[in-house]
A and B are shown apart, each in its own frame.
Chain A
Amino acid sequence: MSELKIRVLIAKPGLDGHDRGAKVVARALRDAGMEVIYTGLRQTPEMVAEAALQEDVDAVGLSILSGAHMALVPRVIELLKANRQEHVKVFLGGIVPDEDVPVLLQLGVIGIYGPGTLSETYVKDIRKAVKAAHA
């Protein structure tokens, strides 16, 4: 195989049940030639990190519309580190207030993509970040 496949986990941690956005992103990444592992609703950060480990993904996309991102995202990043998966890129979708954005980026999140984001934007960002991690 000449070109390595990018594998992405799309997860919905927390309690909100709105997974339309997550499915749209999963589909867009599939159409960009990536392998997308979709976990379904109501995942704990522990479940997300475990799936990321077993599937050896390059990136994890978290969709959160419940407002709990400041609790869930740092926890997922912490667990990925504990599993020696520092190289895994984390990106977010859903509703994130502007004032939280710098804090999350500081934690290492590569991008936050709210409603209306063009799929080209995150496809490009993910490709670039994964390529950099492999280099």
Chain B
Amino acid sequence: MTDLDLVQAVLAGDRLALARTLTYVENGTEQGKAALSGLFSHTGNAHLVGITGASGTGKSSLVNQLARHYRQPGDGELPRRVAVVAVDPTSPFTGGAILGDRIRMRDLAGDPGVFIRSMATRGSLGGIAFATAEVVQVLDAAGYDMILIETVGAGQSEVEIAHLAHTTVVVEAPGLGDDIQAIKAGILEIADVLVVNKADLAGVENTERALRGSLDLAHPLPQHFRHHAYQERVPGWDDKTELPELIWEPPILRTVAIDGTGIPGLAGAITAHRLHLDASGGWVLRERWRLQTELDMLLTSRLLEGFRSRLPAGVYEQALEDLLGRQLSPFQAVEKLVDMVV
């Protein structure tokens, strides 16, 4: 199949072509890059929802229930096409992985409006894989309107998902830690929606109280994003004016994923967040931020590649030796190498 045929097949809804393209993209092959280029103009329509939280809080079961809800929403709403990207960790020792999220998603089998893809992290430490963003682009182009991205069991700092998703759902469960856990930096900060799953278990009130306490301590800020630690604000925001409609306070919801309790409420909160992003300009800002990150990343690796190919043979290796021998500092090594080419 040529690159163009592959793109056409994906756009026409060919599921094998889609699965193949995802493999190419995940493996970073030339076919994958060509397909991404062909598909890119068809992206930008899907609502990307990240589901993150510690191991065993019920992320996969919640994804299963949410996907079912979007397929049969009730209340006269139209069903959505749903893609699930489920990420599990790669072994740091063997490079192998067991991807077991499908076990909890058997209710979705046989529905042509659902596409589930498991991914291994392949060395990425941020809770998703390096290629997850690109896999999501392909699914977006293939016409899936809701893309649910389930991270690996995330503890405190696996916050990459917030850079990819429009809406980040952080899942907690009763009995997983005291209230100081809730005020640490990291995963709770990225939550657009907080879920206390397994809400039929004892201790749900304590978990909810700790989360609420942590949110109350936080001063509500307008939507802002950090790009290399720079802050950007929603256009039109002025510190002196109060624009309450720009402020999103993460709701805290209770669910019981195994029996579906609370799922319509969760879906409603996700929709409300989408409407908020549309109204506040946050949607465009997030898109721009995400594409800038991708552009910078690709540019960096491309420039590095080009730069190294222009260095005289052995110079790079020599600089590395000088570093090892402590004859040069890393800053001095960079100066020396750049001076040689520029």
Interface residues of A (CB under 8 A from B): 1, 4-5, 7, 26-27, 29-40, 43-44, 46-47, 50-51, 53-56, 83-85
Chain A residues with CB below 8 A from B122, complex form: 1, 5
A34 to B118, CA, bound (A): 13
Q: Is the CB of B109 within 8 A of A36?
A: no
In the bound complex, residues from chain A placing their C-beta under 8 Å from that of B20 are: 56
Partner of A1, one of B27, B91, B98, B103: B27
Q: How far is the CA of A33 from the CA of B95 in the complex (A)?
A: 5
**A47 contact set on B, CB distance < 8 A:** 106, 109-110
Shortest Cβ gap from B61 to chain A (Å)? 12
State whether A53 and B16 are in contact (beta carbons under 8 Å apart), knowing that A29-B96, A38-B99 are contacts in the complex: yes
Most buried by A among B91, B96, B117: B96
Per-residue A-contact encoding for B37-63, CB less than 8 Å = 1, 0 else? 000000000000000000000000000
Once the chains bind, are B15 and A53 in contact (CB under 8 Å)?
A: yes
Give Cα A51–Cα B86 distance, bound, in whole angstroms.
13
B residues less than 8 Å from A33 (CB atoms): 94-96
Number of A-B contacts (CB under 8 A): 82
Contact A32 B115 (CB under 8 A): no
Residue B116 interfacial (CB < 8 Å):
yes
A32 with B120: CB separation less than 8 A: no
Q: Mind listing 23 A-B residue pairs with CB under 8 Å?
A: A5-B120, A30-B98, A32-B94, A32-B96, A33-B94, A35-B90, A35-B97, A36-B96, A36-B97, A36-B98, A36-B99, A37-B100, A39-B102, A40-B100, A40-B102, A46-B110, A50-B109, A50-B110, A53-B15, A53-B16, A54-B115, A83-B16, A84-B16
A-chain residues with CB within 8 Å of residue B102 when the two chains form the complex: 37-40, 51
What residue in chain A is nearest B102 (Cβ atoms)?
A: A39
A99 to chain B, nearest CB (A): 33
Interface size grouping (class) on chain B: 20 to 34
B100: chain A residues at CB < 8 Å are: 37-38, 40
Q: Are B22 and A35 in contact (CB under 8 A)?
A: no
Contacts of B293 in A (CB 8 A): none
* B19 contacts A by Cβ under 8 Å: yes
Question: Which B residues touch A31, using CB under 8 A?
Answer: 91, 94, 96
Which residue, of A27, A34, A37, A84, has the highest number of chain B Cβ atoms within 10 A? A37
Which residues does chain A contribute within 8 Å of B109, judged by CB atoms? 44, 46-47, 50-51
Contact of A38 among B15, B95, B103, B106 (CB under 8 A): B103
Q: A27-B98, A31-B94, A47-B110 are in contact. Are A39 and B103 (CB under 8 A)?
A: yes
Query: Given known contacts A40-B103, A40-B106, is B16 in contact with A85 (CB within 8 Å)?
Result: yes
CB neighbours (8 Å) of B98 from chain A are 26-27, 30, 36, 38
A46–B91 alpha-carbon span in the complex (Å): 30
Decide: A1 and B28 in contact? CB cutoff 8 A: yes
A5 to chain B: which residues have CB within 8 Å? 27, 95, 120, 122
Q: For A27, what are the chain B residues with a Cβ–Cβ distance below 8 Å?
A: 98
13 extra interchain contacts, Cβ-Cβ under 8 A, other than A54-B15, A54-B19?
A32-B94, A33-B94, A33-B95, A35-B90, A36-B99, A37-B102, A38-B98, A38-B100, A46-B110, A51-B109, A54-B116, A55-B19, A84-B16
**A31: nearest chain-B partner, CB-CB:** B94
* B99 close to A37 (CB less than 8 A): yes
A84 to B15, CA, bound (A): 11
Which has the most chain B C-beta neighbours within 10 Å: A29, A34, A56, A83?
A56
Closest to B15 in A: A53
Q: How far is the CA of A85 from the CA of B27 in the complex (A)?
A: 19
Do A56 and B96 touch across chains, with their CB atoms under 8 A apart? no
Q: Distance (Å) between the CB of B104 and the closest chain A CB?
A: 8
Q: Which of B100-150 contact A (CB under 8 A)?
A: 100, 102-103, 106, 109-110, 115-118, 120, 122
Q: Which chain A residues border B8 with CB–CB below 8 Å?
A: none
Determine the chain B residues whose CB is within 8 A of the CB of A7 once the complex forms: 23
Contact B22 A56 (CB under 8 A): yes
Q: Separation in Å of the B112 CB from the closest CB of chain A? A: 9
User: Please, which residues of chain B bring their CB within 8 A of the CB of A35?
Assistant: 90, 96-97, 99, 118, 120
Interchain CA distance A91-B92 in the complex, whole Å: 27
How far, in angstroms, from A63 to B115 measured CA to CA in the complex? 24
CA distance A5 to B95 in the complex (A): 9
Residues of B within 8 A of A46 (CB): 109-110
Q: List, in ascending order, chain B residues with CB within 8 A of A85's CB.
A: 16
